């Protein structure tokens, strides 16, 4: 078991999101409301990742040298992505808290018991998010080029986050399933 330390990390704040059971079925992506559902969901995933990366940086003492600092950087990147998504949601005249979102991602990341486990798990989650963002960029290219460009940029930036596993845990190869 990894020894946890007290860090400078503050507990998560979820406002202005409405925490609950996320809808089982989303509205069509080609509608304003459906686009809003994705923007909200992905923005909240970025918020959960922000808190998880900060938690890992503050608590996992078994992290290789430099990884905790890298996680703090990734947390800031996640916050930047969330900001872009929330700005777009507002530009569309949609409310952040209009549809409930789930804490499932955050809870699953908090179950990790050490740096390696967290790095592999979060890398897999980031890869799934990257693939989703690429798909949204393609689908939206003709109907909403602003959102499409944002999703494309997020997907591009996620690549570096995913590569942290290979950089800090090279013996694991690509066990995370990321980028390959």
Give average pLDDT by consecutive 10-residue segment, the chain, 180 residues. Answer: 46 90 88 94 96 95 95 96 97 96 95 96 94 94 94 95 89 49
Question: What separation in angstroms does the CA of 79 have from each of 47, 105, 170, 176?
Answer: 6, 16, 27, 23
Give the separation between CA 155 and CA 126, rounded to whole angstroms: 9
3-class DSSP state of 19:
strand
pLDDT at 3: 37
Residue 2: predicted pLDDT: 36
Q: Of the CATH numbers 1.20.1260.10, 3.40.50.300, 3.40.50.1000, 1.10.1200.10, which one belongs to the domain with range 32-172?
A: 1.20.1260.10
pLDDT at 177: 43
User: Which DSSP letter does residue 114 get?
Assistant: S
Task: Write down the pLDDT at residue 12.
Answer: 87
Structure confidence at residue 29 (pLDDT): 85
Find out whether 7 and 58 touch, Cβ atoms under 8 Å: yes
Domain spans in the chain, listed from the N-terminal domain onward? 32-172
- Contact (Cβ atoms closer than 8 angstroms) between residue 158 and residue 133: yes
Which two three-digit tokens encode residue 163? 């590569």
pLDDT, residue 180, reads 36
Q: Output DSSP code: residue 141.
A: T
Q: What is the dihedral sign for C-alpha 1, 12, 41, 131?
A: negative
């Amino acid at each position: 078991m990894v020894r946890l330390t007290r860090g400078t990390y503050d507990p998560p704040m979820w406002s202005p999101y409405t925490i609950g059971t996320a809808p089982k079925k989303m509205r069509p992506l080609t509608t304003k409301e459906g686009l809003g559902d994705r923007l909200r969901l992905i923005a909240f995933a970025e918020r959960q990742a922000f808190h998880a990366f900060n938690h890992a940086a503050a608590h996992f003492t078994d992290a290789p040298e430099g990884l905790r600092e890298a996680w703090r950087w990734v947390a800031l990147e996640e916050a930047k992505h969330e900001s872009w998504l929330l700005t777009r949601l507002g530009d569309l005249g949609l409310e952040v808290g209009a549809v409930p979102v789930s804490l499932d991602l955050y809870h699953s990341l908090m179950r990790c018991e050490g740096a390696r486990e967290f790095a592999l798990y979060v890398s897999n989650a980031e890869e799934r998010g990257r693939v989703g963002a690429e798909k949204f960029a393609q689908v939206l290219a003709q109907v909403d080029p602003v959102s499409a460009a944002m999703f494309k940029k997020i997907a591009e930036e996620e690549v570096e986050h995913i590569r942290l596993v290979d950089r800090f845990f090279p013996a694991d190869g690509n066990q995370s399933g990321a980028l390959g």
